[in-house]
Structure 1
Amino acid sequence: MRLLRMLLLAATACFALSAHADDDAAATRLTTLLSQAQTMTARFSQLTLDGSGTQLQETAGELALKRPGLFRWHTDAPQEQLLVSNGQKVWLYDPDLMQVTIQSLDQRLTHTPALLLSGDVSKIRENFEISFKEAGEVVDFTLKPKAKDTLFDNLRLSFRRGVINDMQLIDSVGQRTNILFLSVKMNESIDAGQFDFKVPEGADVIQE
């Protein structure tokens, strides 16, 4: 974590211990909140801005998540896409191009934002430096990946009354993606078939 000899060393040691304790407290709090949702469905709206704040894209859709590692993320037309994972494979389907990309699921939470919400919460401490602040019914967590090869440099998760409310990702060039979750439902039964994908007849397949 980015943190007269004896006095300076003593002060530095005290600060390091405090920062470590704060990080552990934030990780414990976030793990508890995420663990409350073994399944989750929601609508979402997504807005992407470049480093200067200019809007690049606005989309909406629906999602379904189930621990560990199962997710379905469907973006509405006219920019329709479908991202599905059964915990081992990930399918990205673009119906306009009639193209399916298939790859093995990278289990690192830093490589798939959907996996952060549906993956193994015990790995959060391994993957991120975490801080949080609380104001009334809202708790905001800031996560900084410990690894270098990640999709984002900074991620914020916001919970309202214990339920995920929104997420913001910032990448290395300052591009921001804001995702607002709507009509969130937790721990309801979800058809397992949602987390598998059959390649449509005639679609081009790319294996990665």
Structure 2
Amino acid sequence: MRYLKLRIVNLNSALLKVFVLGLGVAILITPAAAVDVRALAERVDHHYNQLRSLQAEFTEIYRGSGVERTESGTLWLKKPGKMRWEYRSPKEKLFVTDGKSAWFYLPGDKQ
């Protein structure tokens, strides 16, 4: 099983902070049974679709067959279709896509 934990580091949007605060207040004042999960997911999806770029620190934890592996690094997303994953730990690697082509680089392999 693979888990992905993202910690948002730098968003150039005060709107995100307002959205998260408003969402928290709405959840606190709404009874749990009355929360419409689909509507909430649609609002979150709509908000993130408005973002033009995102930078986040990530930690991936892989668990399976009695083995656990943790990797971490930085993720950058930019519309339209650009993505960059820079892994720092336990070893460096890089995954980049421009929406048309994708590249995977392992510095240790001296490619």
TM (norm. structure 1) is 0.32
2:98 & 2:48 partners in 1: Cα distance?
A: 19
> Which one of 84, 88, 107 corresponds to residue 95 of structure 1?
107
1:27 & 1:77 partners in 2: Cα distance?
A: 32
2:42 & 2:59 partners in 1: Cα distance?
A: 28
1:39 & 1:80 partners in 2: Cα distance?
A: 23
> Which one of 40, 45, 53 corresponds to residue 59 of structure 2?
45
1:139-182 deviations in Å (ceiling 9; x for gaps):
xxxxxxxxxxxxxxxxxxxxxxxxxxxxxxxxxxxxxxxxxxxx
Letter in structure 1 aligned against 2:58 = F
| Displacement after TM superposition at 1:47 (Å) | 1.0
2:52 & 2:41 partners in 1: Cα distance?
A: 18
Which structure 2 residue ranges, 5 or more long, are not aligned? 1-35
**Aligned residue runs from structure 1 range 43-192, under 5 A:** 43-50=57-64, 54-98=66-110
1:56-113 deviations in Å (ceiling 9; x for gaps):
2111111111012101101014421100011211000011113xxxxxxxxxxxxxxx
DSSP-derived class of the 2:108 partner: coil
1:116-138 deviations in Å (ceiling 9; x for gaps):
xxxxxxxxxxxxxxxxxxxxxxx
Letter in structure 1 aligned against 2:63 = L
Coordinate RMSD, CA, aligned: 2.4
Aligned length: 76
Which structure 1 residue ranges, 5 or more long, are not aligned? 1-20, 99-202, 204-208
Identity rate, percent: 29
TM (norm. structure 2) is 0.56
| Displacement after TM superposition at 1:55 (Å) | 4.2
DSSP-derived class of the 1:76 partner: strand
8 Å contact kept, 1:47–1:55: no
Structure label with greater radius of gyration = 1
2:88 & 2:75 partners in 1: Cα distance?
A: 11
Cα separation, partners in 2 of 1:76 and 1:22, compared to 1, 3 Å: closer
Cα separation, partners in 2 of 1:64 and 1:22, compared to 1, 3 Å: closer
